[in-house]
Amino acid sequence: MSTSAPPPHRRESDSALAEVARAADPSLRAHADPAPGPGRYEASFPEDRDRAFVVEAVHEGWLMHYETPRAFGGMDDDLRLLGGDTLYALGLARLAALGDLAGVAELAELISLCARAAAEDRPGLPEELWRATVAALAGEGGGGSAAAAARLAS
User: Which band of pLDDT confidence, cut at 50, 70 and 90, is reported for residue 3?
Assistant: very low
Q: Which residue has the higher pLDDT, 149 or 39?
A: 39
Q: Determine, yes or no, domain membership for 129.
A: no
Are 129 and 114 spatial neighbours (Cβ–Cβ below 8 Å)?
Answer: yes
Q: For the stretch 87-121, what's the b/e string if a residue is b when 16 or more beta carbons lie within 10 angstroms of its beta carbon? A: bbebbbebbeebebeebbebbebbbebbeebbeee
Tell me how many domains the chain contains: 1
Q: Determine, yes or no, domain membership for 145.
A: no
Are 36 and 71 spatial neighbours (Cβ–Cβ below 8 Å)?
Answer: yes
Are 19 and 10 spatial neighbours (Cβ–Cβ below 8 Å)?
Answer: yes
Are 129 and 120 spatial neighbours (Cβ–Cβ below 8 Å)?
Answer: no
Q: Determine, yes or no, domain membership for 10.
A: no
Q: Is the pLDDT of residue 1 over 80?
A: no
* pLDDT given for residue 122 in this prediction: 94
| Mean pLDDT on 43-63 | 97
Q: Which domain holds residue 75?
A: 16-122
Q: Determine, yes or no, domain membership for 20.
A: yes
Q: Determine, yes or no, domain membership for 68.
A: yes
Q: What is the pLDDT of residues 88-141, one digit of tens each?
A: 999 999 999 999 999 999 999 999 999 999 999 999 999 999 999 999 999 999
Q: Determine, yes or no, domain membership for 3.
A: no
In angstroms, the CA 48 to CA 139 distance is 12
In angstroms, the CA 7 to CA 152 distance is 38
Are 14 and 25 spatial neighbours (Cβ–Cβ below 8 Å)?
Answer: no
pTM of the model: 0.90
In angstroms, the CA 147 to CA 14 distance is 33
* pLDDT given for residue 10 in this prediction: 52
In angstroms, the CA 36 to CA 126 distance is 22
